[in-house]
Structure 1
Amino acid sequence: MPANRQIVLDELPQGPLSPEHFRLAESERPTPGEGEALLKIRYVSLDAANRAWMQGATYRSALNAGQVMAGGALAEVVEANGSDLKPGDLVFADTGWQEYAVLPAKRLAKLPALEPMTHLLSVYGVAGLTAYFGLLECGQPKAGETVVVSAAAGSVGSIVGQIAKLKGCRVVGIAGGEAKGRWLTEELGFDAAVDYKAGNLRQQFKEVLPNGIDVYFDNVGGDVFEACLFAMNTHGRIACCGAVSQYDGAPPQHGPRGVPGLIVTKRLTLRGFIVSDFDAQRDQALKDLQQWVAEGKLKVQEDVLEGLETLPQALVGLLHGENRGKRMVKVA
């Protein structure tokens, strides 16, 4: 039987994640039954949420040691029984980190044939849709308002900032290091950047946010979230997308301080969301995203690594902020 290489979560991390928590395994290639599809994984998506799944149940069940590492991927249909899917069709699915997977065909939807294919994982995938809905539906920015986004050089944040500019907002990105800040302002059109690694966020905010924050798109939680809370304007909106600062390593020693009073006195709106909340509006979102890309108004940055065996280090690197834009690994 043909082989199927897999990356297994060998041990649940008690501290920061490292490649040693994974191992490369090999099994027989699975065979699809009635109503199932055999998928060949082409590109695996890397997301901070991969790390959160190791801590316990979220919007999906928790990961356990010994399991194939979970993760979404762009995959090609090899065989589909009792389904309208055909060999060669592309789908996005939670395949896990492996070369082949078998899943119920009814859970799979054919993706459009777009080039480059990688855009189906970035701007037209979960990253782009998360940015679109999180900003426009949860943040509800208005022209002339100030929008701040954390992890601004990442897959979601880089798109959030560009959409906010399209909507006529002043945009400030929070990222790590001067190089990323220059990339945001010089390449993506952000109005200003804040370097969280330089410390003293509140002082930096005084310089680049003289009129406060109307919309904050939060990808990191922790101290950055706290600093932004104190800079929010009355009736400000916060879209809570993720908390990457709290996924890897020791848990935070405290939560954001003074939150209840701030929320009440400033009449803030905080909304958590996941992209599937907005499935009914997906077609319109994709239409808008495709138009903006075609018109050159939305730049797509992708960070593509190669080889199934590179996945553990690629995820560790993502958690340390190595990437610009959407990080993924080409498997085949």
Structure 2
Amino acid sequence: MLFSPYTIKDLTLKNRIVMSPMSMYACEDESGIVQDWHRIHYPARAIGGVGLVMVECSAVTPQGRMSPQDLGIWGNEHTEGLKKLASLIKDSGAAVGIQICHAGRKAKIDGPIVAPSAIPFKEGEKTPEELSIDQINTIVQEFKEAAARAKAAEFDVLEIHAAHGYLINEFLSPVTNQRQDEYGGTVENRFRFLKEVIESVKTEWDGPLFVRVSADEFDPHGNSLDNYIYYSALMKEMGVDLIDVSAGGLVNFRPKTYPGYQVPLADAIRNGANVPTGAVGLIKQVGHAEEILNNGRADLIFLGRELLWNPHWAYAAAQELGVELELPQSYSWSWIKKL
């Protein structure tokens, strides 16, 4: 199952292995422009056999960076570097996606930061400014413009980052959204910002669209899993193709982790909202990945840290499963069939 193709709209992935978006903090000049690090790091995983490489969270505005070293997609000056990076990845054998985001109150930058409500992430950190309606409208427009740049850069997949305590997640959760206007209060009002972002993005982007969510906020006052099943059903109706299901990051709490600790969330959303999902979270073993797919718990396997340590995880997985891959010509002589 792991090496079966998967089709989303007009895109067919050669297998179900996805390199999860992980920030590299590699823009030492703070420009947000693609660096040599990115041009080496990402194509290496494509050569390593994954079906889809997701480029890290790229900020839609300088104010929305997690750190000054983040990749950016806020200006036209970023498009050329992103286009070359996307081409390198595709030429190396994988489809390519990019995640776009705004860090909200978790931005680690000079100057003011913003959020739905003026609540800092934790004691001692900067208090964000509460967004005005005009500012919200501006950020929605920035997501739209970022989607247009992703299309111009010829990415195959676009993912909106609505997880890990960043701005969209902050709007979704009652823990971080204490607004009294149309963007706060009810579940529907808290969904309004993400709804507007999706709608604006879809005016520019017609390819496969993913959204990453944190389906467990690790706070008793936060959204329940049922809320995220509801949100996911709404997103499916809006034309979102896959929910990338993660957890945590909203509050200053580190849960106990173990292999597959987030998979039940992907399973619940896939089967509760009838929408394709990606499973992520310390998935290391080939048999575990196969079990997730074979039992209909998710549609794609997102690998993070495992691909940092082993860019050729897919080759080892194929060997274990007895699947013969079509390797890059320069590697083809090295293949050893499983005895």
**TM-score (norm: length of structure 1):** 0.28
**Larger-gyration structure (1/2):** 1
Choose between structure 1 and 2: higher helix proportion. Answer: 2
**TM-score (norm: length of structure 2):** 0.27
Higher relative contact order (CA 8 A, sep 6+): 1
